[in-house]
Chains A and B, each alone.
Chain A
Amino acid sequence: MLIPCPLCGARDLREFTPKGAAVTLHRPDVGAGLDAWNDYLHLRDNPAGPTRELWWHGSGCGAWLVVERNTLTHEVSGARLAEEEAGA
């Protein structure tokens, strides 16, 4: 599996750490209530097919990426910087 880091180019899987579904970029407000926090922390779509995930390029540039990947085939279709995605 090669992951196309926007800063470094296509790099080996071993340089990255998967950090879960990209829903974690959208943290609820402190007072959002139990359901919103349970949703954010625990419940997952867990799709069989295309998915969006956070990966950390820890052995490369250190960037956090949003990677588009297929969980059935392991095909990686794209990656962009998480900071662009989050607008933060």
Chain B
Amino acid sequence: MRYSALQILKQGLTGNRRWERAWRKPDPKPSYDIIIIGGGGHGLATAYYLAAVHGQSNVAVLERGYFGGGNVGRNTTIVRANYGLPGNSEFYSHSLKLWEGLEQELNFNVMHSQRGVINLFHSDGQRDAAARRGNAMINQGDDAILLDRGDCRQMLPYLDFDQTRFPIYGGLYHPRGGTARHDAVAWGFARGADQRGVDLIDNCEVTGIDIQNGHVTGVQTTRGAIRAKKIGIVVAGNSSRVAAMAGMRLPIESHVLQAFVTEGLKPVIDHVVTYGMGHFYISQSDKGGLVFGGDLDFYPSYASRGNLPMVEHVMEAGMTLMPMLGKARLLRSWGGIMDMSPDGSPIIDRTGIRGLYLNCGWCYGGFKAVPGSGNCFAHLMATDRPHDAAARYKLSRFETGFGLMDEEGTGAQHNLH
């Protein structure tokens, strides 16, 4: 069923009784050409592009829980391409271009809203760094505008510009950045993959990966054994656990990152605003809630919930940036499990086992990468060659030290990002 305004009218007039389910609910077949482990944003996008771009329809996505129930349903929905380093720069640029055509391509309203992202800076040195990053973004073909203090006052009148600790000097404005409806992205890719013949199998936990003579042959699951020629691991915070089934140890630590939303308010924040010095960023959802977050709790965790000291820290940072925040009441908080890599950049690569591919290390920035990651991972799995935009996301870069992408410049070791 194609979604359109006319369809809404037609269904509305007939009591909304004839909507079809968005995707089938098939039982697993005994074998597939390709199995994707993980039915989150990245896994569903991979399946979609395998079918849509590479004509691979004998594909299954295996999901332990329900589709879109992982980090794609637990993030702060920001979409941007404001990276500076070669490797990241071209990848996120590629991903943003896919975002811009996503709704038409998927025939699904993902509510992609290019409301602009503003990264604030608070010193002359930070202004120089922002100008340099902006130039890198422009050289990549994306957009960046350096705002001075007056521009920021006009666009963001609610900030406390004269706070003594981090007075606001200006910001780097990325107009094509913005937000999207997180769940809809998962649903749109799921529906698109299903329409092209991909089997989406939920409540199906992978319990083992079968390997013979250094080549994958299939998986063991809670719904029986399934054979496959190629297998992709796309499980974010659970990457180490699944890779261990194939005897691998990864350069990954799983950490909890918390996020928060207030009660719904009238429109008050028009952009995505980031306040790096306070480890704080905020935007307003289309429902009106102020969505914001901060830094990791910084200890490894699989608990999907954090501790109160970080809650307090985020609220304090928010209050120093925009004191009006104190008038809003917090509605919910939650945590997601981040697959943190040593240099803060992701991995899209083959493994030492033939037919086994790995997509992980998205740290706390996986949402904006969903289309790009799926697109590039599908390319790698279908052709056995890396996509140009993701060619630098190599697993071997930690071992060799060649091609590390430490965007923050803090070092390429665990605990530093």
Contacts and interface: CB of A to CB of B under 8 A. Distances in A.
Contact of B299 (A41, A47, A53): A53
Contacts of A21: 253, 300, 414
B302 interface: yes
A56 B240 CA distance: 25
B303 A74 contact: yes
Contacts of B307: 1, 13, 74
Given A71-B301, A72-B302, A44 B309 contact: no
Give the contact-size bracket for chain A. 20 to 34
A11 interface: no
Nearest to A54: B415
A18 B399 contact: no
Interface residues of B, number: 23
A42 B298 contact: no
B247 to A, nearest CB: 12
A19 B309 contact: no
B360 to A, nearest CB: 11
Nearest to A47: B240
A32 interface: no
Contacts of B414: 20-21, 42, 44
Given A48-B302, A53-B300, A74-B307, A41 B398 contact: yes
Nearest to B413: A41
A71 B251 contact: no
B342 A42 contact: yes
Contact of B303 (A45, A51, A72): A72
B284 interface: no
A58 to B, nearest CB: 13
B251 A42 contact: yes
B309 A18 contact: no
A46 B303 contact: no
Contact of A43 (B249, B254, B413): B249
Contacts of A13: 307, 309
B252 interface: yes
Contacts of B241: 46, 48
Given A13-B309, A34-B399, A43 B251 contact: yes
Contacts of A71: 254, 300-303
A33 to B, nearest CB: 11
Given A44-B252, A48-B241, A14 B300 contact: no
Nearest to B302: A48
Contacts of B413: 41-42
B250 interface: yes
A71 B298 CA distance: 12
A55 B300 CA distance: 12
Contacts of A18: 298-300, 415
Interface of B: 238, 240-241, 249-254, 298-303, 307, 309, 342, 398-399, 413-415
Given A20-B414, A44-B414, 4 more contacts: A13-B307, A51-B300, A71-B300, A71-B301
Interface of A: 1, 12-14, 17-21, 34, 38-39, 41-48, 51, 53, 69, 71-74
8 tightest A-B contacts by CB?
A46-B240, A42-B251, A18-B299, A42-B398, A43-B249, A48-B302, A38-B399, A20-B415
